[in-house]
C-alpha cells in the first residue's frame, strides 16, 4: 500500500511540475499559430526555413526599440506578422532581412551586441509581445493588408496615394507626435548651393536666393512638389536626392546655404512607431492603436491546427 501511495504522490508531483514548466515556457513549446506558420527567410547566406514564432522576435527587435513598451511592441508584432503574410517579395523566400526591401531582422548575437546587458530583459519584452498576439494579423475585406509603418510623423501620417497606389486603409490620420514630445523627429539640414545643384542635376544660375520657387503641399501637409531653378520635383524625389528623413520639410535660403527643416522620419504611410509608443504610454491598447493607423481593418487570427500548417 505504501509503495502505491508513493507512486501516486510522485505522479501527481511530476504532473504539477510539468504543468508549471509548460506555463512558463520552460518545457515543451505550446501549440501556437505562429509556431505552425512557416516562414522562408532570405538571409545573406541564402534561404532559411523557420516559423513565424521564431522569426518575429528578431524582426520586431530590429524594427522597434524594445523600450517603447508592451502595447507598442504588440502593434509592431501584428504589423510585422501581417507584412509577412501579405507579401512574398522574393522568388525563393517570403521575406528578406533588409528593411529597405522587406523587414529588418537581427539574429540573437547581433541583438546581444546592440543591447549589451539589457539583452535578456529586452528579448523577454519582445517575445512576450509576439506571444501575446499569437497569430493575429490585420485584414481588409478578408485579406491580409499591406501593413506599412514608419518611424514617426509630426501631426499626421501620409496618404498612400501620395507616393504609392491608393489603399483605403493607408490614408492620412492624425498622429500625436509634436516637436515637444518627439524632438528627435525634427532635424535641420544645411545644403550648399553647389551640392543642391549637383544633387538635382541642375546648372547653377544667378543668385541662390532666387532658386527656390513654389512649394505645393499635399493633403497631409507634406511636400507634393517643389520648384528649384525653374524645375519641379516631387517631395519624394527631393527626399531621396538630398537624403532627407521625410517629405515633411520646409526650405529657405539663409544667405549661405539652403536650410531644410525636416519633420518626421520615413515615408509616413501607415503606423507611426513613435505615435504608437506615445498612444500606448497614454493608455491605448494595441488593438485601438492599430485600428487608428489602419482604419477600416479588422484583426483576424490564424487557426491552430493539430497537424499540418495554416494555409497561406
Q: What percent of the chain has pLDDT over 90?
A: 86
177-229: pLDDT as tens digits: 999 999 999 999 999 999 999 999 999 999 999 999 999 999 999 999 999 99
Q: Say if residues 177 and 153 touch (Cβ distance below 8 Å).
A: yes
Distance of alpha carbon 201 from alpha carbon 243, whole angstroms: 15
Please enumerate in sequence order all residues whose Cβ is within 8 A of that of 108, keeping only pairs 6 or more positions apart, or say none. Answer: 58, 123
51, exposed or middle or buried, with CB in 10 Å at 0-12, 13-18, 19+? middle
> Can you tell me the mean pLDDT for 278-305?
97
What's the pLDDT score for residue 5? 46
The model's pTM is 0.86
Which residues on neighbouring strands pair with residue 226, listed in sequence order? 215, 233
76-112: pLDDT as tens digits: 999 999 999 998 889 899 999 999 899 999 999 999 9
Distance of alpha carbon 233 from alpha carbon 128, whole angstroms: 45
Is a pLDDT exceeding 90 seen at residue 299?
Answer: yes
Distance of alpha carbon 77 from alpha carbon 242, whole angstroms: 32
Distance of alpha carbon 98 from alpha carbon 41, whole angstroms: 11
Closest CA to 20 of 10, 11, 8, 28: 28
Q: Which of 21-25, 53-57, 177-181, 273-277 has the lowest mean pLDDT?
A: 21-25
Is a pLDDT exceeding 50 seen at residue 28?
Answer: no
Is a pLDDT exceeding 50 seen at residue 1?
Answer: no
Is a pLDDT exceeding 60 seen at residue 27?
Answer: no
Amino acid at each position: 500500500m505504501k509503495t502505491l501511495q508513493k507512486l501516486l504522490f510522485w505522479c501527481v508531483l511530476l504532473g504539477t511540475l510539468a504543468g508549471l514548466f509548460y506555463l512558463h515556457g520552460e518545457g515543451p513549446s505550446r501549440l501556437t499559430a505562429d509556431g505552425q506558420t512557416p516562414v522562408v527567410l532570405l538571409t545573406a547566406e541564402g534561404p532559411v526555413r523557420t516559423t513565424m514564432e521564431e522569426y518575429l522576435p528578431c524582426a520586431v527587435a530590429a524594427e522597434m526599440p524594445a523600450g517603447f513598451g508592451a502595447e507598442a511592441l504588440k502593434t509592431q508584432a501584428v504589423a510585422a506578422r501581417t507584412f509577412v503574410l501579405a507579401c512574398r517579395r522574393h522568388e525563393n523566400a517570403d521575406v528578406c532581412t533588409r528593411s529597405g526591401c522587406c523587414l529588418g531582422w537581427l539574429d540573437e548575437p547581433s541583438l546581444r551586441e546592440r543591447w549589451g546587458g539589457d539583452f535578456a530583459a529586452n528579448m523577454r519584452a519582445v517575445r512576450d509581445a509576439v506571444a501575446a498576439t499569437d497569430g493575429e494579423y490585420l485584414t481588409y475585406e478578408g485579406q491580409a493588408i499591406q501593413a506599412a509603418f514608419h518611424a514617426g510623423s509630426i501631426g499626421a501620417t501620409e496618404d498612400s496615394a501620395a507616393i504609392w497606389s491608393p489603399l483605403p486603409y493607408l490614408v492620412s490620420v492624425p498622429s500625436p507626435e509634436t516637436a515637444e514630445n518627439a524632438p528627435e523627429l525634427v532635424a535641420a539640414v544645411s545644403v550648399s548651393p553647389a551640392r543642391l545643384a549637383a544633387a538635382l542635376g541642375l546648372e547653377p544660375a544667378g543668385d541662390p536666393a532666387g532658386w527656390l520657387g513654389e512649394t505645393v503641399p499635399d493633403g497631409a501637409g507634406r511636400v507634393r512638389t517643389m520648384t528649384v531653378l525653374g524645375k519641379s520635383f516631387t517631395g519624394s524625389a527631393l527626399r531621396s536626392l538630398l537624403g532627407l528623413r521625410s517629405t515633411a520639410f520646409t526650405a529657405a535660403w539663409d544667405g549661405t546655404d539652403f536650410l531644410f527643416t525636416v519633420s518626421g522620419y520615413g515615408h509616413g504611410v501607415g503606423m507611426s512607431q513613435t505615435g504608437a509608443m506615445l498612444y500606448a504610454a497614454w493608455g491605448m491598447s494595441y488593438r485601438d492603436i492599430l485600428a487608428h493607423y489602419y482604419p477600416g481593418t479588422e484583426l483576424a487570427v490564424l487557426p491552430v491546427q493539430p497537424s499540418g500548417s495554416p494555409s497561406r
